[in-house]
Amino acid sequence: MSDKILFEIKNLSKSFDKLDVLNNISTEIREGEVVVIVGPSGSGKSTFLRSLNLLETPTSGTIEFEGTPITDKKVNIDEYRQKIGMVFQHFNLFPHMTILKNMTIGPVKLLKMDEEDAKKEAMALLERIGLEDKANAYPSQLSGGQKQRVAIVRALCMHPEVMLFDEPTSALDPEMVGEVLEVMRELAKDGMTMVIVTHEMGFAKEVATRVLFVDEGQIKEENTPDLFFGKPQNERLKEFLSKVL
C-alpha cells in the first residue's frame, strides 16, 4: 500500500426524496488498498460505492479522485470513469456483442486503441481466467460465474486504477461464487486497488486490508479485518456479525 490517495470523500450525503441514504460520510481510499464494505441491506453501502463513480449523484459533499473534485459539475466525469472499473451484481454484459467485443469496445472507442492490439490484450485476459474458448460466444451462452469473470476482465481492459465491486457474487449460484472470488483474489494479489461491497465475510477476512461497517448511511466502524471481526466495538456491528458469521 502506498501513501497516494485515490479517493478523498468529504461529508458525502445522499437523499432520495425525503429518505436519507448516506449521511455525512468521510473517508479516503489509498492506492493498493482492498476496502471491503459490509452492512445490512438498505444501509446505503451500495449507494456509497455507486457514488464513487457518480452513478449516484451526491446531494451534498465532495469526492476527489487523485486530487480532482469529480463531484464538481465542470469536470467531465466520463474521463474519470475510464479509470474507475466497475463490476455489477447482475454482470451487465452487453447481450448483443460477443465476449471479445464486450471487452474491446471500450478500449477501441474510448482509448483509441488499435482493434488488433485490443483483441490481443483481451485474449490474454481471457486466457488468464480460462475462458479463451468463449471469445466468440455471446453472453447468454455463459454461466453466471463465467459472465461475472468476463465482466471483471472487461473492466480491466480499460486499465483502471481502481476497481469497484457491487455485490459481485450475490446473484450467483453458490457453486459459482468460488471462481469469481478467485479472480478477485488474484487481482488483489497483483496490487489492484479495490472497493468491494459483499456479504462474503470469509473473503473479507482473507483479502481486505480494511473493512468498513456501514449502517443507517454512516460508517459505524472501520478497522483491519483482524480487529473488525475479532474485536468489534459497535453494538450494531456485533449484532450484525453474530447473525452472518
Partner 1 sequence: MTFKEKLIQNFIEEERYKLIFKGLENTLIITLFAVLLGILLGFLVATIRSTYSKTGKLFILDRICWIYITVIRGTPMIVQLLIMYYVIFASYNSKIVVAILAFGINSGAYVSEIVRSGIMAVDAGQFEAGRSLGFSYAQTMIYIILPQAFKNILPALANEFIVLLKETSVAGYIGLTDLTHAGDIIRSRTYEALIPLLAVAVIYLIMVAGLSYLVGLWERRLRASER
| Total interface residues for partner 1 by CB under 8 A | 28
- Select the residue interacting with partner 1 from 9, 93, 192, 214 (CB under 8 A): 93
The answer to whether residue 17 forms part of the interface with partner 1 (CB under 8 A) is: no
Query: Measured from the CB of residue 56, what is the shortest distance to partner 1 in angstroms?
Result: 10
Q: In this chain, which stretch among 26-34, 83-91, 118-126, 209-217 interacts with partner 1, using CB under 8 A?
A: 83-91
- 95 lines the binding site for partner 1 (CB under 8 A): yes
User: In whole angstroms, what is the distance from residue 180 CA to residue 177 CA?
Assistant: 6
Does position 79 interact with partner 1 (CB under 8 A)? The reply is yes
Contacting residue, 35, 36, 37, 84, with partner 1 by CB under 8 A: 84
Of 38 and 155, nearer to partner 1 (C-beta) is 155
DSSP string, the chain: --S-EEEEEEEEEEEETTEEEEEEEEEEEETT-EEEEE--TTSSHHHHHHHHTTSS--SEEEEEETTEETTSTTS-HHHHHTTEEEE-TT----TTS-HHHHHHHHHHHHS---HHHHHHHHHHHHHHTT-GGGTTS-GGGS-HHHHHHHHHHHHHTT--SEEEEESTTTTS-HHHHHHHHHHHHHHHHTT-EEEEE-S-HHHHHHH-SEEEEEETTEEEEEE-HHHHHHS--SHHHHHHHHHH-
**Minimum distance, C-beta of residue 105 to partner 1, in the bound complex (Å):** 6
Binding residue for partner 1 (CB under 8 A) from 96, 112, 231, 243?
Answer: 96
For partner 1, give the closer residue by CB, 28 or 79: 79
Question: Of the candidates 2, 136, 141, 234, which one interacts with partner 1 according to CB under 8 A?
Answer: 141
Establish if 10 lies at the interface with partner 1 (CB under 8 A). Answer: no
List residues binding partner 1 (CB under 8 A): 53, 55, 78-79, 81-82, 84-86, 88, 90, 92-98, 105-106, 109-110, 138, 140-141, 154-155, 158
